[in-house]
Structure 1
Amino acid sequence: MKLRQWQSQCVDAALARYQTQSHFMCLATPGAGKTIMAAELAARLIAMGKIDFVLCFSPSSEVNDSIRSTFSKRLNKRFDGLMGAIGSVYTYQFLPSLTEAFWQLLRTHKVFVIMDEVHHLKGSLLTNANAWGEEVLLNIQYNAAYTLALSGTPWRSDKAPIVLSRFTEPDNTIHCDFSYGLKQAIEDNVCRQPNIVLIDNNKIKLETDQETETFASIAELLLDLRYSYQALINHHQIMHYMLNQSVKKLAEIRQSNQNAGGLVVAASIKHAKQLLQILVSDLKQSACIVTSNLKHPSRIIDDFRQSNTQWIVSVGMISEGTDIPRLQVCCHLSRIKTEMHYRQVLGRILRVNSDEAQQAWLFTLAETSLTEFAYRIDQDLPEQSVFIDHTGSQDLDLELPQSKSSKTIQADDGNELHVDLSGFSLPHTKGHASASYKSAIDEENTYNLALLGSYKEQIVRMFDNYLLSS
């Protein structure tokens, strides 16, 4: 298979490094094609007589399927772990189940071990390792002929060390033997240019029985510990607005690329079903849903990959490593707000294909962390960015008086909103909410909130030197 320039350079760098050490760490931006590079490196090591077998580990069965297909094609041999196969691929969850007889293979043969999305493996020592990292330290670290660690986001949200990694002093940043960043990937036409839309509201009113408070932004609202981000992403009219904006953008892209698709990242299975209902019933979109409780989620993802369906709604099933190049729009409504997850989600819409319209659009609420992540991606890329403030025409009234009963509220635009608040009463004074109390409220997604202002969109565009009208 034909390699991209960075893939060829990385293979050469790894082969050179393997002359003096057995471990190689590659950082490549999500969507750049790490699996193809790894398969080529394995093929070269086999041709040189350096290894007998290849073992791969990844975070999910969906990624496993992609690895199995790519390696089998490049090595021209079975990659299913059965008799006569050149290797196999397993999920990290399967690591603790592997027996001593399996690990004996690494002691009696020259085995090349590849760890995809290696940030899932925690620990520099057995004392600080997670279960998966412990297996690597015990059975792979000193027994594999060579190891290759791959990641597009080489850090952990808990700040813990990644297995087999080296860190620079004094700032403890991870040392990578080869790095291929987003800026270079965009310049090489390996990844699409990301456009990040931060959706806000400029007049948010909170009503209790005793007082009314007004906030000028979502970020300001969430400084009040009585109210959570999860409540916002579960509110019907907020979901509807964000989905509608995403649908408009996908429709625009599909005018020149009829096969373009969109991804909605949901917070829970219940949330995903609500989002699917809005897409299909209200916005008249073709859509499917994939969650962990379905019998064949991998089949659903593959069917969507090959189809012309407009949207797929996912709960944790389409994130790191899942390859669906026709995805070009993402509506981020997940409760997870870590930078690693954010960048992995963004990576789902950055993979280029042969279509004409190579655009990538990510829609999120302008919550503080998500806004910082957008700016941080921008700062990683030194080109001038363009920030466009766009105020939409839709006024939204979600006024919910605080009480312990079910209320129907008439919105300014004529829409009625029915919310059941039975069983909950929020504190009337600002203060530090206890973790258990806040968690209980989060579980039910019930908050007193009124958004009276127009929606505001800040668009972060990479590498544009001019303003684009909205």
Structure 2
Amino acid sequence: MSALNSKPTSLTGEQPPLRSWQVRCIRQALQTLSPASPHFLCQATPGAGKMRMAAVLADELMGRGDIDTVIYLGPTTSVVERAAETLSEVTGQSMNGRLGAAGATYTYHALHHRLDELKRLCEQARVLLIWDESHHAAGRNDGMGGMNGANRWGLALLALERHVRYTLALSGTPWRTDGSCLPLLRYMTATPDAPGPDNSFTGVNDEQAEPAEYQLLPDFIYSLSEAIQESICRLPRLHLVDNSDIQLTAYHLHSGRTETHRYTSIPHLLRHPAMHYSNLLRHSAPMAHLLDLGCQQLLALRQYDPDAAGLVVASDIAHAETLAEQLEDRGQTVCLVTSKSPGAHARLRAFRKDTMPWIVAVGMVSEGVDIPRLRVCCYLSHVRTEQSFRQVLGRIIRREGTDDPECYLFALNEPTLRHFARRITDDLPEDLATVSLAGATSAGLVDPASPTTSPATPASARLTPSSSVPDAPSTDKPTAEGDDLATRLTLGALSSPGDAIAPDVEFSQRFIARLIALQFPSPGQP
């Protein structure tokens, strides 16, 4: 009996029953896929279980004789390995690409080198092509034999398309930051008042994309709102940390003058021409504060969930090494996985089943990696796109059971990230989403442990409104007596017409955390 009827069998025995959304999506795909409609896009929130759905769909298509072989494409080696395991478990057949196997799994990078081989396979068998995290590919057939905006992976997919029977695209964020279209998928021309596939999500990135001309039409959508309501995903608690007393001292090399400016928030500090967000991520004060908040939160969670773990997303390898050292200085055990870490993929697999509290990475745990015990994230990446922000949130949002209803993400109160955090609430009905501010303790820190020691505490009882950070920065004011200023950060000189400045930045200990909370009413409430 098929997995679609909730009684699947596999190499490892009986599989758990499918979720309601997975059943609906599979049935719709089975009705939709045909020689006249060979492509299907499933847009489901990160952490919802897209790969399990895809594996069962592949099994159903093989069972009814529509396909013979499955080819899976994914962004990274670790994602591809997990996909191969899931496909084998559900179908009961090998997916190693060797003689007698029912399929093969590759990274997008490997696709270019195996294109001719895969074309020959597709000519000899009826193939289902599953391309996961589909936003990595770009390219659109212009209808006249040409390709618009195609990247290397998009060109390879378009070249393979004519040889496969069906394609299944999977993504929780099916758009590209550069505004280009994804290959193989259906688009409609956007009206002047309607956003294109990317306009709704690019927000205020460092490099704005051109307005999209087309609007993507997914075949099936499963939203974050539905996933939280159905207890598939955790309720995300997003803490954006700010500082109400920042001092910047700029030395003008040309004139020899020193100027001191005072700022009451990080957004206003970043308006200074010599300041950049990537520099703040390496400043000892905000970096230490984010790690402290993450450690406090994870300690509270591990009181009743001993396997709970935290993820720190760094900007580069050197930054990751520094963050790992700082966690170890706090008595934490850390798994560091980067592209230069020996045996990184094996360590990542081991961490999934371990009880180690922290993992630090740059990009290896950003998308598609399934580690459900991750519940806390410190976002210290310089990447500021909504796609990346949501993908990282997806690493901590997948629930394991009934006793892990919430997850926590800590980041600096940078304007773009704040915009993305607020947009997450847009995924929910207006009567269920609220935006609040968390009160600071007398020491100037938000204590994440005290309001969350019991998962049964109502969401409404966990929020204490406080005044927001003042909007207007003040300049040239002396440091208030008694302020405890943190370590300075000296930036390299910034060339400007006729002058250059090398600023020092100091943060007071008065950090506060803005909490953007997604709330749901208690059972029985309207």
TM-score by length of 2: 0.79
Aligned to 2:134: 118
Alpha-carbon offset, residue 358 of structure 1: 2.7
Correspondence for 2:58 among 34, 42, 67: 42
Partner of 1:153: 173
Residue 514 of structure 2 corresponds to 458
Seen in structure 2, the aligned counterparts of structure 1 residues 148 and 428 have a Cα distance that, compared at 3 Å, is: closer
161, 164, 181: which one aligns with 2:223? 181
What corresponds to 2:113 in structure 1?
A: 97
Whether the 8 Å contact between 1:122 and 1:160 is mirrored in structure 2 is yes
Aligned to 1:408: none
Are 2:305 and 1:257 aligned?
yes
The equivalent of 1:344 in structure 2 is: 391
Inter-CA distance 149–226: structure 2 relative to 1 (3 Å threshold): same
Cα shift at 1:143: 1.5
Equivalent residue of 1:231, what SS? helix
Give 1:413 deviation, angstroms.
4.4
Trace 1:363-378 onto structure 2 (pairs within 5 A). 363-378=410-425
1:142 matched residue in structure 2: 162
Which residue, out of 187, 201, 205, partners 1:167?
A: 187
Q: Deviations over 1:232-284 (max 9, x none)?
A: 11112211110000111111111111110000001111111111111111x21
Structure 2 CA distance for partners of 1:107 and 1:90, relative to 1, 3 Å: same
Check if 1:384 corresponds to 2:436: no
**CA deviation map 1:154-185 (0-9, x unaligned):** 11010110111222332333110000000000
CA distance in 1, matches of 2:444, 2:30: 60
Contact 2:444 2:512 in 1 (8 A): no
What is the distance in 2 between the residues matched to 1:99 and 1:287? 39
2:298–2:308 contact (8 Å) kept in structure 1: yes
Q: 1:165 to 1:447 in 2, by over 3 A?
A: farther
The Cα of 1:355 is off from its aligned counterpart by 6.0
The residue aligned with 1:232 is: 280
Which of 414, 425, 435 aligns to 2:493? It is 425
Task: Provide closer, same or farther for how the CA distance between residues 414 and 129 of structure 1 changes in structure 2, counting only shifts above 3 A.
Answer: closer
Rounded Cα–Cα distance in structure 1 between residues aligned with 2:322 and 2:284: 8
1:288 alignment partner, one of 330, 335, 338 = 335
Q: State percent identity of aligned pairs.
A: 37
Which residue pairs with 1:324 in the alignment? 371
Q: Select 1:274's aligned residue among 322, 327, 349.
A: 322
Q: For 2:342, what is the secondary structure of its paired residue?
A: coil
Q: Aligned equivalents of 2:76 and 2:300: distance in 1?
A: 33
2:387 and 2:173 map into 1 onto residues whose CA distance is 6
Q: CA, structure 1 residues 429+223, in 2 after alignment: closer, same or farther (shift >3 Å)? A: farther
Read off the aligned partner of 1:105 and give its amino acid letter.
L
User: Measured at CA, do residues 357 and 100 of structure 1 come closer, stay the same or move farther in structure 2, by a change above 3 Å?
Assistant: closer
Please report how far the alpha carbon of residue 414 of structure 1 lies from its aligned counterpart in structure 2 after TM superposition.
8.4
Contact kept, 8 Å, 1:326 with 1:353, in 2: the verdict is yes
Counterpart Cα distance in 1 of 2:434 and 2:391: 21
1:57 to 67, 70, 73: 73
Amino acid at match of 2:327: L
Q: Give the ranges of 4+ consecutive aligned residues of structure 1 lying more than 4 Å apart after TM superposition.
A: 392-396, 411-415, 418-421, 426-431
Q: What letter is aligned with 1:273? A: E
SS in 2 for 1:337: coil
Judged with a 3 Å threshold, the aligned counterparts in structure 2 of structure 1 residues 208 and 419 are, in CA distance, closer, same or farther, namely closer
Change (3 A) 1:428 1:80: closer
Question: Secondary structure at 1:78's aligned position in 2?
Answer: coil
Counterpart residue number, 1:335: 382
Change (3 A) 1:453 1:308: closer
2:238 pairs, out of 196, 199, 222, with 196
**2:353 alignment partner in structure 1:** 306
Contact 2:154–2:183, Cα closer than 8 Å, also in 1: yes
For residues 121 and 101 of structure 1, what CA distance do their matches in structure 2 show?
20
Q: What residue in structure 1 maps to residue 204 of structure 2? A: none
* Kept after mapping to 2: 8 A contact 1:385/1:464: no
Query: Which one-letter code corresponds to 2:123 in the other structure?
Result: R
Provide the alpha-carbon RMSD of the alignment: 2.3
Distance in 2 between residues matched to 1:414 and 1:450, nearest whole Å = 6
